[in-house]
Amino acid sequence: MTAAVRHATPLTLVSGGRAGEREASIAQVLLPEQPSAVILEGLADGNSILADLAEQTSPSFPLQLLRIAPGCLCCSGNLVLRVTLNRLLRHPPARLFISLADATHIEQLRTWLTASPYDVLLAPQADIVVS
Confidence (pTM) = 0.90
Q: Give the span between the Cα atoms of 117 and 130, in whole angstroms.
A: 29
Q: What is the mean pLDDT of residues 43-58?
A: 78
Q: How confident is the model at residue 62 (pLDDT cuts 50, 70, 90)?
A: confident
Work out the number of other CB atoms within 10 angstroms of the CB of residue 121.
19
**What letter would DSSP give residue 1?**
-
Among 11-15, 58-62, 85-89, name the one with the lowest average pLDDT. 58-62
Amino acid at site 30: L
Q: What is the mean pLDDT of residues 120-125?
A: 97
Query: With contact defined as beta carbons under 8 Å apart, do 65 and 54 qualify?
Result: yes
Judge whether 1 lies within some domain: no
Judge whether 4 lies within some domain: no
Count structural domains, the chain. Answer: 1
Name the residue range of residue 55's domain. 13-129
Among 6-10, 22-26, 50-54, 80-84, name the one with the lowest average pLDDT. 50-54
